[in-house]
């Protein structure tokens, strides 16, 4: 895999995790997400 592509995917993953972790449990619930879903969603996004 292209190193630049890998770096961008890693950065997208980390940004998604960081942003979702900023939300409180109520906000995540409103989106239909639980705390345990965050890493899975971030992987799918990257």
Cβ atoms of 28 and 20 within 8 Å: the answer is yes
pTM for this predicted structure:
0.86
At residue 4, φ and ψ (nearest 5 deg) are -65, -40
- Rg (alpha carbons) of the chain, rounded to whole number: 12
**Would you write out the chain's pLDDT as a tens digit for each of its 46 residues?**
799 999 999 999 999 999 999 999 999 999 999 999 999 999 999 8
Rounded Cα distance between 37 and 2, Å, is 28
Rounded Cα distance between 39 and 16, Å, is 9
């Amino acid at each position: 895999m292209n190193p630049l592509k890998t770096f961008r995917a890693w950065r997208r993953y980390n940004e998604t995790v960081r942003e979702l972790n900023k939300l409180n449990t109520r906000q995540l619930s409103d989106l239909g997400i639980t705390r345990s879903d965050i890493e899975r969603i971030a992987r799918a996004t990257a």
